[in-house]
């Protein structure tokens, strides 16, 4: 009897298994991709939500010690500066200086970004309880001679006596008619005292200076510091707020002044310059000034 080779039993299971495995891999990739996209959105959303605090704490007063930017950084900053100023073309623009800018060529200062006139300047007068700014006298006099509306500010050191700091400012600054009110610049937290003690010291400085000049001082600080420690306690004071956040495009209603960049270039000033927007027009700014 002729024998035929046994017919091989070809199972289709491996093919189905491969298809199932391929389908599983494909589904796994899609799932991974979806979760990846969701994670990116989560991270972006978190950063965006906390952008004010993050950029404040990483960027506020970051340029001390730096005098220039790379070419690419300069382009980015110029674009932002132009964009912000364009949005505030009905407001008044100014800047602030201290000894960090070295000698200022006041006769060369006119506009920023070629289109926006600079009308006022804040000048650092003192720091702590015994230190006048080394260039205050020359800057103060030159600002007046070049027809800038000028204001003087004191850099407050939390761990030094507040009344001694007030006297340091009073002994240094002689306000005249047409000058802006005095400014208290508070940026740092105390090392050896509580926040409540800090606030008592700030109020003592403010009260002493207001009593002497007969005008309510302006308080300068970063937005996070302002929101966390100053906004409620010092309600009623005018605020000058520093916020360099790229996501912030407009001055807020409760800010009298907005320092929106620390990295501007101004003709006549070496290095990086802070630029500020006043929340009003030129007449509003003049009305804010000392009248005596």
pLDDT at res. 244: 95
Asked if residue 260 lies in contact with residue 276, where contact means CB atoms within 8 angstroms, the answer is yes
Domain span including residue 106: 69-288
Q: Is 24 part of any domain?
A: no
CA distances from 179 to 28, 152, 225, 285 (A): 69, 9, 27, 10
Give the pLDDT band (50/70/90) at residue 58.
very low
Hey, what are 200's tokens? 């008592």
The one catalytic residue in 78, 138, 187, 228 is 187
Is residue 160 one of the residues assigned to a domain? yes
Domain count, the chain: 1
In a domain, 280, yes or no: yes
Q: Does the active-site annotation cover 96? A: yes
Using a cut of 0.85, tell me whether the model's pTM lies above it.
no
Q: Which of 96, 179, 185, 223 is catalytic?
A: 96
- The tens digit of pLDDT for each residue in 188-210 reads 999 888 999 999 999 999 999 99
Q: Measuring CA to CA, which residue among 265, 224, 228 is closest to residue 241?
A: 224
Contact 286, 94 (CB under 8 A): no
Query: Six-digit token pair at 266?
Result: 């101004």
In a domain, 168, yes or no: yes
Question: Which residues contact residue 2 at a Cβ distance below 8 angstroms, ignoring those fewer than 6 apart?
Answer: none
* DSSP output for 30-46: HHHHHHHHHHHHHHHHH
Distance CA 73, CA 11 (A): 66
Position 216 in a domain: yes
Query: What average pLDDT does range 97-123 have in this prediction?
Result: 96
Query: Which residues, at least 6 apart from 228, have a Cβ–Cβ distance to it below 8 Å?
Result: none
CATH of the domain at 227: 3.20.20.80
Query: What is the per-residue pLDDT for 163?
Result: 98
249 is annotated as an active-site residue: no
């Amino acid at each position: 009897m002729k024998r035929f080779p046994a017919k091989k039993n070809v199972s289709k299971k491996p093919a189905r298994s491969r298809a199932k495995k391929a389908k599983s891999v494909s589904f796994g990739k899609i799932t991974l991709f979806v979760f990846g996209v969701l994670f990116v959105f989560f991270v972006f959303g978190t950063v965006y939500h906390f952008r004010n605090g993050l950029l404040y704490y990483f960027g506020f007063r970051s340029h001390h010690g730096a005098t220039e930017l790379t070419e690419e950084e300069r382009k980015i900053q110029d674009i932002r500066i132009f964009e912000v100023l364009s949005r505030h073309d009905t407001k008044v623009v100014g800047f602030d200086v201290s000894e960090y800018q070295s000698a200022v060529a006041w006769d060369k200062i006119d506009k920023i970004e070629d289109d926006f006139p600079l009308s006022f300047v804040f000048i650092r007068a003192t720091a702590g309880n015994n230190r006048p700014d080394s260039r205050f006298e020359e800057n103060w006099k030159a600002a007046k001679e070049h027809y800038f509306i000028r204001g003087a500010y004191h850099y407050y050191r939390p761990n030094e006596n507040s009344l001694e700091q007030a006297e340091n400012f009073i002994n240094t600054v002689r306000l005249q008619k047409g000058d802006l009110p005095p400014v208290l610049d508070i940026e740092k937290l105390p090392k050896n005292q509580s926040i409540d003690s800090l606030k008592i010291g700030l109020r003592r400085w403010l009260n002493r200076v207001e009593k002497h000049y007969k005008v309510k001082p302006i308080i300068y600080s970063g937005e996070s510091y302002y929101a966390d420690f100053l906004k409620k306690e010092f309600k009623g004071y005018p605020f000058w707020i520093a916020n360099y956040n790229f996501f912030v495009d407009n001055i807020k209603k409760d800010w009298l002044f907005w320092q929106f960049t620390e990295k501007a270039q101004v003709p006549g000033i070496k290095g990086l310059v802070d630029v500020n927007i006043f929340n009003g027009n030129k007449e509003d700014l003049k009305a804010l000034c000392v009248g005596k």
